[in-house]
Amino acid sequence: MTTRELTIAFDADDTLWHNETIFEAVHERYREMLSRYHDTATVDRTLFATEMRNLDRYGYGVKGFMLSAIETAIDLTEGKISTAEIRTLLTLGQDMLAHPVELLDGVAETVATLAASHRLLVITKGDLRDQERKVAKSGLSAHFRHIEIVSDKTESSYAAILRRHDIRPDAFVMIGNSLKSDILPVLALGATGIHIPYHLTWAHEHAEPPPSSAGRFHEIKSIRALPALLSEM
């Protein structure tokens, strides 16, 4: 197997472009809005619990987050939050969906370099329309053979993608910031996972690193280190 035969798949949010920073800015506005009623820890804990309760119905993404944020605001204030404040939450959500796509440092050059010698994919989860918008606005589309937007990133959703594109697990490398969504499921399939931590991680994405994966787990600090790592593999 030559390096040329590898298929390299990238997570998108917080791997190719900033995302959690946008959520965190809205979280901060949200805590301020509810600070007359509850402390930050209670607001954060209750919002997260609402999101988890609704996850199966809403899935990932901004729209489900906004619906859960409105629900939590009404419940936490026993209905005392104003409709003007709810209207502000709706606008915050719409602004998130129109936010410029800001690539992480080194992404544009590294993706362009790797596209010259490898088949590249994007595998991301969230709202279909929003993820498509971000891919289109990223300026990176032409480098990717396929864009896969899935409702969740599990062993079976990765297995379905590998089957669909006729990719052997031992020729597949997944790159992402989430151990839980990007690394552990592909290691379980016998593929390689390269973790590039982002400085913020949503509580839902926390996971312990794998104990041992026979050389199939790597961690790097920046996407800039990727070409050298891949050439050693």
Chain positions contacting a second copy, by CB under 8 A: 54, 56-59, 63-64, 66-67, 70-71, 74-75, 77, 79-84, 86-87, 90, 93-94, 97-98, 127-130, 132, 149-151
Nearer to a second copy, 130 or 205 (CB): 130
The partner residues of 123 in beta bridges, in order of sequence, read 148
CB within 8 Å of 51: residues ≥ 6 apart: 64, 65, 68, 204
How far apart are CB 75 and a second copy at their closest, in Å? Answer: 8
Euclidean distance between CA atoms 212 and 157, whole angstroms: 23
Six-digit token string for 44: 């954060």
Six-digit token string for 196: 């590039």
Nearer to a second copy, 41 or 84 (CB): 84
How far apart are CB 233 and a second copy at their closest, in Å? Answer: 29
Return the SS3 of 173: strand
How far apart are CB 52 and a second copy at their closest, in Å? Answer: 14
Return the SS3 of 17: strand
How far apart are CB 27 and a second copy at their closest, in Å? Answer: 18
Beta strands in the chain (DSSP E): 7-10, 119-125, 146-150, 172-176, 192-195, 217-219
Nearer to a second copy, 101 or 108 (CB): 101
How far apart are CB 20 and a second copy at their closest, in Å? Answer: 20
Nearer to a second copy, 51 or 192 (CB): 51
Nearer to a second copy, 20 or 132 (CB): 132
Q: Are 97 and 130 in contact (CB under 8 A)?
A: yes
